[in-house]
Structure 1
Amino acid sequence: MAATVDLNADMGESFGPWVMGQDADVLEVVTSANVACGVHAGDWDVMAATMAAAAARGVGIGAHPGFPDLQGFGRRRMHLPDQSLAHLVQYQLGAAQAMARAAGTQVRHLKLHGALANMAAADQHMATVCYKAALKVAPDLVIMVMAGTRQQDAAQALGCNLACEIFADRAYNADASLVDRSRPGAVIHDPDLAGRRVVQMVEAGAILAEDGSRIPTRIDTICLHGDTPEALEIARSVRSGLEAAGITLQQFPGAPL
């Protein structure tokens, strides 16, 4: 069982006057923040404000690149040539680095978003293209991977710093992939259920799938999605549940496997 674990949230997803999520409150609970880079969500002002708020609270900052799909929130699949995909990741990472530096902090990790993440979780070559592109810009970057998927295989093969992630608010298939959002129960909205489930997975050192199967895995960080109405309540439930179980919340070190 992990004695310590990181708690991360996707944020910085508002756009101009349209507010999404409860970032300021969630930042009081999590230890790492995955900040949208203005391509699938967010904009330059939102990025700047989110980076500054995270820095003020000592929360670790990550770049959260996705597909160029503002209307679909980066959750629609796209197929790009390898070189263009690499440039897309580098473009977003560069923007995140600039905003973090201006806020007096730095980007310490990278996590793929939405459809880009789900496709890379099933396609090691695609994941490798994304991660190699990011590491070319920032060799010491921690790559946050969906535990038990091709993302993890790609990062392990590259020998980079990585953090293995499980999800507090998403249901799992038996192959460690996430249940499609179109299916009932794919997104967990009950904070108490999310909290109990996370503690069970961390104590078991395994992903608990919907069919009852267990997928043993290293668990470095736990994610919740900042765009759900219950994000703050889920964050608090997960944190209190872990602390009650004697598990310390702190930023992941990002050691290679």
Structure 2
Amino acid sequence: MKKIIIFAIIMGLIVFGGLFVFSNVISFFQGDSELNLVDFEIEKSLSVGNIHNVQIISPVGKVQIVQSGGDQIQAQLKGKTTKKTENNYELDVQESDGQAYIEVKKSKGNLFDLYTEYDLIVKVPEAEFAVFQVQTESASIEMKSITSDKYVLKTVTGDMDVSVLQGAFDVRTDTGEILLELEQINDDIVGKSVTGDIIIKSQKSPEALQIDFDTDTGKEIIDLPSYLTGKGPIIKLSSNTGDLELVSN
């Protein structure tokens, strides 16, 4: 009886292995296998002109926003995918009524490709914007040296790493960490993360602040030189399990 069971297990493994190899061979010839990976790159640009607002949407690719020279906002979608899906991705770049729209779109197929990875790099000339918005689903957001009156950054599972001079913030993520490095705090900051830490660093000490921290199991850390309370910008941070930090940089 024991020999029969062992034999049955061995035969099962052989059949399973054969089916696995067969399915991979079929996927390869259909162009939908990790053995079929190819590089893809899409670049588009538009004149910064009279643009006051910027909105960037990328479902799963990491978004990097950096300052550049010239007078063009340059968007570059760069990554790897399979031969079968290399034409499924589009980079939509438009301008309307003073607002720039930059969005990564998947033209067909499922929203998620098993083997697809990409980054969206947006190079922005030195300019002052009213609102700068970035939205992703399962990817991080990195922003350096962009000037805007307000930043609206939202993701579901990604981290945020932002380094700018100042501005108002509305930043939200479910499971990622939020890091804001500012030269000074002059405007309200609202930050929310369900499980991640929220860290705000300021080079210059604010003269006055209103602080509203809310966390269930995380730590609340405030390490700034003396400032007036009950006046000035409101720093409202919340996280269920993450730490909340407001410190000098």
Q: TM-score range by the shorter chain?
A: under 0.3
- Tell which has more relative contact order, 1 or 2 (C-alpha 8 A, sep 6+): 1
Give the TM-score normalised by structure 1.
0.25
Give the TM-score normalised by structure 2.
0.26
Which structure is higher in strand share?
Answer: 2
Which structure is higher in helix share?
Answer: 1
Structure whose CA Rg is larger: 2
